[in-house]
Amino acid sequence: MKRFLIFASFLFIINCDDGDALFEDFDFDNITVQACLPENDAGTRNYTFYKIETVNNETLSIQVSSSEDLLEEGIYDNFSVTSNPFEYRKFNGTVSNDYFCNDVPPSSPNVTETFIANAGTFIITTEYSFDDGDGIPAIDEDLNNNGDLEDDDTDGDGIPNYRDEDDDGDNVPTSQEGVNTSDLSQSRDTDGDGDPDYLDRDDDDDGINTDQETTDGDANPANDGPANLRNYLNPLVSGPANPPIDTFIEHTYTRQSNVEITLFDVTLSNGNSEIIYEEFDFGTYVGNGITITENPPFN
C-alpha cells in the first residue's frame, strides 16, 4: 500500500501502482463549503458539509450526527471520522447539490474513485456574525478601540452598536442619519458639536432629544415637520412630545452562523493507497442570515 503524508495542503498528485495519475488535481482550498441541514430541531440531527470541485468533478464531504444544533455559537469536538464519514470522491461527470442533499442520490454521474477516512478526529467551531444594516463595518463601531465590540453601546439600550440599527437611540435609524460609510469623520453633524448625528441623541442641539421632537404621537421623529427640514434637525423648533415618547423603535439585525471544520490526524484510504495529514482546514460553512427582532427597554 502506498502512503502519502501531507501536512499543510491537500494539493497533491498521487500515482497508482501502474503509474497512472489517480488525481488530476486535489485542491479544494478556494471552494465554497455547502451543507445539507437537518429538518428536525430536536434529537439527533444529521448534517452533510461538502465541497464540489467542478473542473475535475471531485468532491469532499463530511457527514455529522449530533444532538446539538451546530449552527448555534460554540465549540463542538470529540467527533470521529469512523462514525462521521469523511470522504473524497471523483466522478465521471458534473456533480450537483442533489447528489448530497437527496435521500436517494441521482443515478449519474458515476463515482470513479473513493477515498474514505478510517482514522482521525475533527472539531467544529461556530461563531456568529451580525449585520445591523447601517452600512458601517463592525470594526468601525469599536468606538473605544479596545477590540471588544460588546462594550460599545452609545445609547445604553443593551444592544451594542455593531448590531444596533439605531446607535444613539433617537428613534431615527443610523442608516438615515447621513452616515458617510467611506469616511465616518465626514458623516452629517447637524449641530457641529463633533458628534455625528448617528451618535447624537439631540441632533440639532436645541435641548430636546431627537426622539422627543415628534408632534403626531408616534415614536418616529423623521416624519414631523417639513420634508426638507424635519423638526429634529431644526434648532428653531423645540416643542417636546406631549405625552413624552417612552419607547424605542423596534430593532432588527441579521445573524449568520459561520461553521468552521478542522480535521486532525486523518487517514484516507481506497484500499490500495493512503493519504495522511496532521491537520486539514475543511473550510467554513456560512449559513443563511436569520432576522432577529428586539424591543430594548427605553431609557
Tell me the DSSP string of 247-296.
-PPPEEEEEEEEEEEEEEEEEEE-SSEEEEEEEEEEEEEEPPPEEEEE-P
Q: Has residue 283 been placed in a domain?
A: yes
Can you read off the three cell numbers belonging to residue 159? 444592544
Q: Has residue 57 been placed in a domain?
A: yes
Q: Has residue 261 been placed in a domain?
A: yes
Q: Has residue 184 been placed in a domain?
A: no
**Which pLDDT score, from 0 to 100, does residue 25 have?**
52
Tell me the residue ranges of DSSP E strands in the chain: 2-6, 34-36, 45-53, 58-66, 74-80, 86-91, 111-131, 251-269, 273-286, 290-294
**Which pLDDT score, from 0 to 100, does residue 117 have?**
96
**Which pLDDT score, from 0 to 100, does residue 103 have?**
80
Q: What sign has the CA pseudo-torsion 279, 284, 122, 4?
A: negative
Closest by alpha carbon to 230, among 243, 220, 219?
Answer: 220
Low-confidence ranges of the chain (pLDDT < 50): 6-24
Total structural domains in the chain? 1
The partner residues of 114 in beta bridges, in order of sequence, read: 89
Q: Has residue 106 been placed in a domain?
A: yes
- Domain hosting 263: range is 2-129+256-294
**Which pLDDT score, from 0 to 100, does residue 10 have?**
42
**Which pLDDT score, from 0 to 100, does residue 222 have?**
95
Query: What is the value of pTM for the model shown?
Result: 0.85
Is residue 223 within 8 A of residue 216, CB to CB? The reply is yes
**Which pLDDT score, from 0 to 100, does residue 9 have?**
41
**Which pLDDT score, from 0 to 100, does residue 27 have?**
80
Q: Has residue 211 been placed in a domain?
A: no
**Which pLDDT score, from 0 to 100, does residue 1 have?**
58
3-state secondary structure of 48: strand
Q: Has residue 277 been placed in a domain?
A: yes
**Which pLDDT score, from 0 to 100, does residue 20 have?**
40
